[in-house]
Amino acid sequence: MATDDHLVVLSGGSRDGETTTVATDVRRLLAASDAPGMLEIYERTATSRRVRGNEDEAVVFDHVGQEPANDMAPELIHLSRS
């Protein structure tokens, strides 16, 4: 993980508990949803927590809703990793 990246954990929504890394200045994530044609919206919180298998704590991103994917380019959708 680059020094300008944070480990994050998603809380709520269809990607609850999944982790990924993002640049430190990222405040909002759009992730593919289980619902066809929808995106999960996650926003950064001021909290962090331990994630099994990682030395560093993960910044928590809370689920705040969904929105239609519409014409969003696939490369702009963040796919997390479990």
Domain ranges of the chain: 7-27+40-56
**What pLDDT shows up at residue 77?**
58
Burial class (CB in 10 A: 0-12, 13-18, 19+), 16: exposed
The confidence band for 82, taking pLDDT boundaries of 50, 70 and 90, is very low
Q: What's the pLDDT at 53?
A: 87
For the whole model, what pTM was predicted?
0.81
Q: Which residue has the higher pLDDT, 27 or 70?
A: 27
